[in-house]
Amino acid sequence: MNFGMSLIRSIFIHPVVKSMGSWSVAMLMLLGLWQAIVSVFHVPAFVIPSPVATISALFQNEVMIRGLLWQTFKETLAGYLVGAAVGVLLAVVMSQLPGLGRLLYPALVTSQAIPIVGIAAPLVIIFGFGMTPKLIIVAWIVFFPVVVNMMDGLAHIDRDQINLARLLGATRLRTFLYIRLPACLGPLFSGLKIGASYAVTGAVIGEWTASSKMGLGTYLLAANAQMNSVGVYGAMLLMTLIGIGSFAMLLLLEYIAMPWRHRATSPWRRAPHL
């Protein structure tokens, strides 16, 4: 009985669960504000439909919407994983080879000055229509915050710990796994969360410029051309949910990877009352 109560209590006070509760309240407040604006100012439905009408339309077209949502989510996830992996690899290489890092860093910054729409057209010419251009566009958006944040974390590791590990005979691999990597997890997850927030934007831009299959981005363009305001706002709502869901998943992974940031002791073993 005590174990069951402890389990229930720990679930409800879990930082991720509490955070998701706050986000749910925030989303409900935004939907309420949306409904209030439509009702108070008598906004025509063809300009801003009510959230009730928008959500109802999504459920009425559930089969089609499910396919569009899956297509955009698949593009977002694949591009995000590639961008995050490239960002981590570049950060590690540049931190281990400072000369190469000083050479590559300006190039990385310059790459982000190029408008995403500007690189989409050449990607279509090179790779054609399909998954590859969209994957590259999402990865292009994601990798920069990851590499910058992880490099910042690797650059501020306590040198005394590194020197002590080398004095005790630790190899470069062990030093990285047990000292460098745990020390830079905080900045790394900050970059990953930033990338997760913008990844769906890259997927939508990719669909606008290089899509051979219908996704939420292409559906948004079609609905806009048909003056289907319910479809436009519904697509926007689903894109927002993808971004929020991706961010929430990163919060959960951050909690698992860095439990010491949230609690000092296990929730199952508490000190007895004295």
Residue type at 144?
Answer: F
274 residues of the chain, pLDDT tens digit each? 554 555 444 444 455 566 666 777 888 898 899 999 999 998 898 899 999 999 999 999 989 999 999 999 999 999 999 999 999 999 999 988 888 888 888 888 888 888 888 888 888 888 888 888 999 999 999 999 999 999 988 888 877 888 888 887 778 788 888 888 888 888 999 999 999 989 999 999 988 887 777 899 999 999 999 999 999 999 999 999 999 889 989 988 988 888 777 655 444 444 444 3
Counting Cα atoms < 13 Å in the Cβ hemisphere of 234 gives 27
Task: State the pLDDT at residue 18.
Answer: 63
Which pLDDT value is given to residue 271? 43
Packing angle between helix 98-113 and helix 62-96, nearest 10 degrees?
150
Are 215 and 207 contacting, i.e. CB atoms less than 8 angstroms apart? yes
pLDDT for position 20: 65
pTM greater than 0.85? no
Tokens of 31: 């939907």
Task: Output Rg (C-alpha) for the chain, integer angstroms.
Answer: 23
CB-CB contact of 49 with 235 (8 Å): no
| Sequence spans of domains, the chain | 65-257
The domain 65-257 is placed in CATH, from the list 3.10.330.20, 3.30.9.10, 1.10.150.20, 1.10.3720.10, at 1.10.3720.10
